[in-house]
């Protein structure tokens, strides 16, 4: 038997025998193995493994299969009486047995994704301190950042390739959550593995606990995070700079996904580090890519071109501006000039239309509307309101990224429907309680206005809607369709940076997957049975499709630095490196 790579951890190493069969060379012994989530097989350990590794007699005598364990745990999962109880059940499985956790959620991904990710993860974030049971990931603070090099060396995985890091300042639509945001990083990484094929032993969840501006958290005796106001300015970036430096020293091939940073800092963080190490912001770029993909699919259903649409984006935070930027790039890819693309997009913040020369926010500058665009409109104030934009510009697309529940009122939806036979309306805010409008209401209000149909997608999962005798599947514009494939491609190709072209390619790949699998039948004039996003059950297939497309682009553009990747069979490379939830044989080292 021969070693194929550097030891993955102090506890085990992945090796391959002369027949190319993988196994684990195990350095631990006895009960320690049963306490290590990465090694524990529970009742699936063979008799030989129990004897050779020194824990015979510590388990029930019957040896079961991984499938048997999954079946038993699924029964336990369904017995839970609330979503948060189901979340805690799954997290407990993960902290006992990593392989079993991924075998379980991979088999029931469509059912369990709303538990481990949005919307239930939002509740888990809010209750993080009271729900806390087991440590996972790393936490950096102003008090420990001087020891960042030692902290990264405390982490047991020697080949980290993907890090999801948050400062918890803008979690979903629920804002500053302090230390609780670590649950978001944990959930994202679970989808990198279950959906994207990335080994969990190449990942790291990070909380950059720079304090919280919420007095209720700071004064809560049960709160587990830093009980100080949030750092700003140089003190804030000192923490991030030293964190990034420590990561580069220990894991030079690691990629960082910046997660849930507030709008006033998200763009600055992305710009500061994007050329220092491969990194991206999922709220800005991942959200933009998944929305662009949905719009491409919606336009295909309507038989129209994206370049002919007029688009309103309501919400000018990190997500809204990120979406607007990516759509703008998509319009330019379709042949428009940058100026033409800007003129067809109307970005709204809490004050009204975001206008060049009026809005003071620098990060909004690339997506600001020109003031002469509305010089002939009759408006009440200095800048147009949402309703005035809808009435005057007559947009075909309305996107919500505000986190404001019910913002898309009946008047707003009916105004959209009066301008279009089939308006495209995406209320995308998470969690479900923050959505701008309920899909069922959107269809009803469009019917009230006399339109024949609408194309609706949301950020969180919604049940099918029956309207006018037709059943509509509500597409879920979930970032999970983008980031696992984008990230896995970046890891496999060992990219030098994550570029805008990679983001756009992932969007077009998702749209092409949807068209190939769900939009082939153009014989129907109505929209039922037409999917603008694949079902969550397709997540693994979607991720592999995107991985291939992005890897091809990386090679073409010279972004992939992995040795000899130009000569690789990309499909074979993806298959060989996709981690599977399976028990490997153990050998005592």
- DSSP-assigned states of every residue in 267-287: HHHHHHHTTTSSEEEIIIIIH
Distance CA 105, CA 203 (A): 18
Q: How far apart, in Å, do the first and last CA atoms of the chain sit?
A: 11
Distance CA 326, CA 542 (A): 20
- Note whether 86 and 116 are within 8 A (CB): no
Distance CA 506, CA 512 (A): 10
Distance CA 474, CA 425 (A): 11
DSSP conformational letter for 584: P
188 catalytic? Reply is: yes
Three-state DSSP at 162 gives strand
Element (H, E) at 427: strand 424-427
Distance CA 365, CA 325 (A): 10
Catalytic residue among 87, 117, 273, 513: 117
- Note whether 320 and 313 are within 8 A (CB): yes
Distance CA 426, CA 476 (A): 9
Catalytic residue among 41, 86, 188, 263: 188
Residue 543 burial (C-beta neighbours within 10 Å; 0-12, 13-18, 19+): buried
**For residue 151, which of 234, 207, 98, 235 has the smallest C-alpha distance?**
207
Element (H, E) at 529: none
Distance CA 445, CA 410 (A): 6
Vertex 164: Cα angle to 163 and 170 (nearest 5): 160
15 catalytic? Reply is: no
Query: In the numeric block, which tokens belong to residue 390?
Result: 């809808």
DSSP conformational letter for 344: T
**For residue 318, which of 395, 402, 225 has the smallest C-alpha distance?**
402
- Note whether 267 and 169 are within 8 A (CB): no
Half-sphere exposure (Cβ direction) of 407: Cα atoms closer than 13 Å:
26
- In terms of phi and psi (left: phi > 0; alpha: psi -120 to 50; beta: otherwise), the region of 403 is left
Vertex 505: Cα angle to 503 and 507 (nearest 5): 75
Which of the residues are catalytic?
117, 188
């Amino acid at each position: 038997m021969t070693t194929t790579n550097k030891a993955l951890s102090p506890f085990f190493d992945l090796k391959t025998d002369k027949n190319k069969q993988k196994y684990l060379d195990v350095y631990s012994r006895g009960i320690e193995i049963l306490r290590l989530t990465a090694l524990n097989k529970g009742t699936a350990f063979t008799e030989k493994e129990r004897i050779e590794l020194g824990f015979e007699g510590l388990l029930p005598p019957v040896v079961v299969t991984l499938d048997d364990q999954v079946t038993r745990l699924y029964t336990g999962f369904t017995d839970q009486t609330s979503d948060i109880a189901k979340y805690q059940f799954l997290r407990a499985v993960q902290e006992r047995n990593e392989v079993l956790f991924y075998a379980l959620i991979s088999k029931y991904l469509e059912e369990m994704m709303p538990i481990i990710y949005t919307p239930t993860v939002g509740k888990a974030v809010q209750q993080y301190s009271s729900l806390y049971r087991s440590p996972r990931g790393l936490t950096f603070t102003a008090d420990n950042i001087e020891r960042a090099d030692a902290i990264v060396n405390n982490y047991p995985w020697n080949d980290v390739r993907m890090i999801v890091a948050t400062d918890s300042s803008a979690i979903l639509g629920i804002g500053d959550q302090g230390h609780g945001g670590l649950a978001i990083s944990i959930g994202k990484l679970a989808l990198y593995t279950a959906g994207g094929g990335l080994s969990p032993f190449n990942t790291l969840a990070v909380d950059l606990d720079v304090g919280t501006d919420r007095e209720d958290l700071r004064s809560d005796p049960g709160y587990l995070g830093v009980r100080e106001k949030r750092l700003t300015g140089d003190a804030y970036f000192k923490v991030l700079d030293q964190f990034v430096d420590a990561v580069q020293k220990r894991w030079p091939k690691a990629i960082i996904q910046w997660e849930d940073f507030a709008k006033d800092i998200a763009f600055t963080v992305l710009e500061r580090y994007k050329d220092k190490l491969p990194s991206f912001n999922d709220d800005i770029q991942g959200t933009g890519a998944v929305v662009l993909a949905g719009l491409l699919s919606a336009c295909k259903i309507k038989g129209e071109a994206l370049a002919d649409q007029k688009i309103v984006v309501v919400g000018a935070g990190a997500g809204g501006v990120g979406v607007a930027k990516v759509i703008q790039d998509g319009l330019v890819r379709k042949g428009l000039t940058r100026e033409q693309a800007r003129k067809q997009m109307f970005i709204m913040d809490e004050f009204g239309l975001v206008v060049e020369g009026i809005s003071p926010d620098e990060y909004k500058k690339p997506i600001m509307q020109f003031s002469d665009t509305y010089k002939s409109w009759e408006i009440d104030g200095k800048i147009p309101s949402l309703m005035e934009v809808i009435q005057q510009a007559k947009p075909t697309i309305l996107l919500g990224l505000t986190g404001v529940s019910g913002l898309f009122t009946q008047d707003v939806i009916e105004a959209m429907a009066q301008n279009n036979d089939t308006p495209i309306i995406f209320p995308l805010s998470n969690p479900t309680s923050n959505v701008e409008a309920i899909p069922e209401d959107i269809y009803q209000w469009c019917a009230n206005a006399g339109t024949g149909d609408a194309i609706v997608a949301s950020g969180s999962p919604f049940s099918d809607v029956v309207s006018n005798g037709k059943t509509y599947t509500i597409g879920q514009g979930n970032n999970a369709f983008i980031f696992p494939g984008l990230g896995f491609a970046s890891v496999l190709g060992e990219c030098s940076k994550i570029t805008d072209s990679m983001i756009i390619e992932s969007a077009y790949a998702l749209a092409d997957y949807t068209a190939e699998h769900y939009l082939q039948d153009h014989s129907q004039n109505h929209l039922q049975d037409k999917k603008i996003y694949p079902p969550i059950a397709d997540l693994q297939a979607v991720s592999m499709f995107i991985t291939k497309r992005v890897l091809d682009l990386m090679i073409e553009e010279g972004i992939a630095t992995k040795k000899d990747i130009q000569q690789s069979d990309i499909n074979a490379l993806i298959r060989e490196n996709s981690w599977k939830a399976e028990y490997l044989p153990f050998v005592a080292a």
